[in-house]
Amino acid sequence: MRAGLTTNTVVQAAAAIADRDGLGGVTMSSLAAALGVKPPSLYAHVGGAGDLRARLASLAEAELAEALAPAVAGRAGGEALRAAARVYRSWALTHPGRNAALQLVPTADEPSSARVTELLLAVMRGYALPDSEAIHAARAFRAAIYGFVLLEAGGGFRLPQRAEDSYERLLDLLDRGLHHHPQAQPQKLISSRATATGSS
Amino acid sequence: MRAGLTTNTVVQAAAAIADRDGLGGVTMSSLAAALGVKPPSLYAHVGGAGDLRARLASLAEAELAEALAPAVAGRAGGEALRAAARVYRSWALTHPGRNAALQLVPTADEPSSARVTELLLAVMRGYALPDSEAIHAARAFRAAIYGFVLLEAGGGFRLPQRAEDSYERLLDLLDRGLHHHPQAQPQKLISSRATATGSS
DNA sequence: CCCCGGCAACTAAGATGATTAGGCTAATAC
DNA sequence: GTATTAGCCTAATCATCTTAGTTGCCGGGG
C-alpha cells in the first residue's frame, strides 16, 4: 500500500500534530500513525527525529515570513509595527506548535530567517534610524513580541488583565520608544537596502 | 549503599545537568548516573520525569527571584529597570538550563512566580503609572527581556552586532517608552502596594 | 548491646519511542 | 513485458521511563 508521502507531507503533518498536541506530542510513532504508516517508513523522507525537528523549525520560520510580508507591505512607522506585531501574535496563537518550533535550531543557514529579519528591518525603516540602530531596534522588537507571545501561550499571565490589552500597550510602548530615539533622523526616505543575510 | 539523597539534592543535580547539557539532557538515567544511583531510586524523591521538570521550573523561578530582589532594592526608575534586566540576563546566560526551565509549567500555584511579579511591579512603580498600567508595563518588560535572552541563548542573533549592545538599546527603548507614557503621573511616591498573587 | 521497623536503594521486568537491517511489491522506465 | 527504483513493511536492537517486589543499612526502644 503506497501512502504517497513526501518530505513536505511528513513535515506538514508534524506541524499539525505540534499545533494540536504540543511540540512534545510529535514523535516518530505519533507522526507515522497520523499518516497511516509504520514508524520506519518515515526514514525514507526525513533523516530522523532530529532532522524532523530542524525541518519543522524551517517550516515555521517560512510560514511566519509568509504571514508577515503582507502586513508590512504598504505600511510604515507605527502602523507597520502594529500590523506586523498583530499578525505575529495571531499566527502564533493559532499555531502554537509551529511557534514553539521557532526555538528549535534549523538545519543550516535558513533563508526564511533572513527574510523575517529583512521584514523587521523594513518596519524599522519607518522610524528613520541609522542602519546600525535599526538592527538593534529590530532585535528589540522581535524579542518583545516573541517573549510576549511565549509567555502568553505558556500561561505566564495569571492576573485578570487581558493579554490582548497588555499587548497593545507593549506596542504603544515600543512605538513611543522608537519615535523618541535620540538618533532618529528627520528624513531618511530612501534608505539604502539592508544587507542582512541571517537572523537579526 | 545509602547515597543520602533528598528531593532538593535531586532537583539541584537536575538543574546542574540542565545548565551543562541543556534541558533535553536531563533524563532519569543521566540524573541517576550523576548521583551515583540507579534510575528507580529517584522515584523515592520525585514523582517521575514530569514532576521533576515541574520542580525544576519552580527552582528556576525561585532562584530568579533571589537574584532579582537585591538588584531592585534601593533603586527606582530607569536605574531599577536596568539593574533588574542586567541581573536577569546575566543569570540566564550563566544558567541556560534553569532559564529554559522557566518555560515549563510548575506544579501548582507558585509563590516564587508571584514574587517575581511583585519585583517587576516594584520596578514599574518608579515610573509613576496607574496600577493597572503598571501591570501592563510589567508584562511588557518581562516579555522583552525574556524574549531577548531566549533569542540570544538560542543563537537567534546572527548579525555581527553585539548582543550586549542590542540589550542596552532595548533597555533604553523601554525606559524612554515608559517615561513618555501618556498616563504617567507626576508624583506618586507612596503608591499603594500591588496586590499581585500570581504571575503578571 | 541488640533487635526491629522504616526507608533508601536495589534487581527484574514491561511499555513506549528511535533507529537500523533487510525483504517485498507497486509504480515507473524502457 | 521486463527491469529497476523506491516506498513501505517486519524484525530486531537500544535507550528511557516506570512499576513491583526485594534487600539491607540506620537509628531508636528495649
Residues B78-130: tens digit of each pLDDT: 999 999 999 999 999 999 999 999 999 877 767 889 999 999 999 999 999 99
Residues A57-78: tens digit of each pLDDT: 999 999 999 999 999 999 999 9
**Residue A6 Cβ < 7 Å to strand C:** no
pLDDT band of A199, cuts 50, 70, 90: low
Residue-level pLDDT at B111: 85
B166 closest CB neighbour out of A136, A158, A161: A136
Distance C20 C1' – A197 CA (angstroms): 38
Q: Is the pLDDT of residue B55 over 50?
A: yes
Å from A170 to nearest chain B CA? Answer: 5
Q: Among candidates A98, A113, A104, which has minimal Cα distance to A149?
A: A98
From chain A, pick out residues whose CB is under 8 angstroms from the CB of B177: 172-177, 180
Residue-level pLDDT at B109: 65
Please tell me the distance from the alpha carbon of residue B96 to that of residue B25, in angstroms, as a whole number.
12
Which phi and psi (to 5°) does residue B50 adopt? -65, -45
Scanning every strand, the nucleotide with its C1' closest to A33's CA turns out to be: C17
Q: Is the pLDDT of residue A196 over 80?
A: no
Q: Residue A17 burial by CB count (10 A; 0-12/13-18/19+): exposed, middle or buried?
A: buried
All three cell numbers of B177, joined, read 517608552
- Distances, alpha carbon B181 to alpha carbons A166, B76, B89, B105, in Å: 14, 16, 25, 33
| A124 neighbors A179 (Cβ within 8 angstroms) | no
Scanning every strand, the nucleotide with its C1' closest to B25's CA turns out to be: D16
- Within 8 A by CB and 6+ apart from A72, the residues are A80, A83, A84, A119, A122, A123
Q: Is the pLDDT of residue B54 over 80?
A: yes
From chain B, pick out residues whose CB is under 8 angstroms from the CB of A148: 139-140, 143-144, 147
3-state helix, strand, coil in chain B (%, to 5): 70, 0, 30
Cβ within 8 Å, pair A180-B180: yes
Q: Which H or E run includes B143?
A: helix B131-153
B136 closest CB neighbour out of A117, A158, A165: A165
Residue-level pLDDT at A187: 52
Which chain A residue has the Cα nearest residue B170?
A140
Side chain identity at B66, as an amino acid letter? E
Q: Which residue has the higher pLDDT, B37 or A106?
A: B37
Mean pLDDT of A102-125: 89
H helices of chain A, in order, are 7-21, 28-34, 49-72, 77-94, 96-101, 111-125, 131-153, 163-179
Please tell me the distance from the alpha carbon of residue A126 to that of residue A155, in angstroms, as a whole number.
33
B interface test, pick of A141, A142, A158 with most B CB neighbours within 10 Å: A158
Please tell me the distance from the alpha carbon of residue B12 to that of residue B56, in angstroms, as a whole number.
8
All three cell numbers of B79, joined, read 536605574
Residue in the structure block whose three cell numbers are 527525529: A49
Q: What's the CA dihedral at B89, B94, B96, B97 to 10 degrees?
A: -130
pLDDT band of A188, cuts 50, 70, 90: very low
Residue-level pLDDT at A63: 97
| A60 neighbors A110 (Cβ within 8 angstroms) | no
A155 closest CB neighbour out of B105, B145, B200: B105
Distance C16 C1' – A160 CA (angstroms): 40
Residues of B with CB under 8 A from a CB of A: 103, 105, 113, 117, 132-133, 135-137, 139-140, 142-148, 150-151, 154-159, 161, 163, 165-166, 169-170, 172-178, 180-181, 196, 198-200
Q: Is the pLDDT of residue A149 over 80?
A: yes
Which residue has the least CA–C1' distance to nucleotide C17?
A29
Å from B143 to nearest chain A CA? Answer: 4
Q: What's the CA dihedral at B125, B127, B129, B134 to 10 degrees?
A: -60
Q: Among candidates A42, A150, A82, A45, which has minimal Cα distance to B199?
A: A150
Residue-level pLDDT at A106: 75
Residue-level pLDDT at B188: 47
Residue-level pLDDT at A183: 86
Please tell me the distance from the alpha carbon of residue B45 to that of residue B59, in angstroms, as a whole number.
15
Please tell me the distance from the alpha carbon of residue A157 to that of residue A150, in angstroms, as a whole number.
10
Cβ within 8 Å, pair A173-B140: yes
Strand D bases with any atom < 7 A from protein Cβ = 6-12, 15-21, 25-26
Q: Among candidates B32, B54, B51, B52, which has minimal Cα distance to B41?
A: B32
- Residues written for chain B: 200
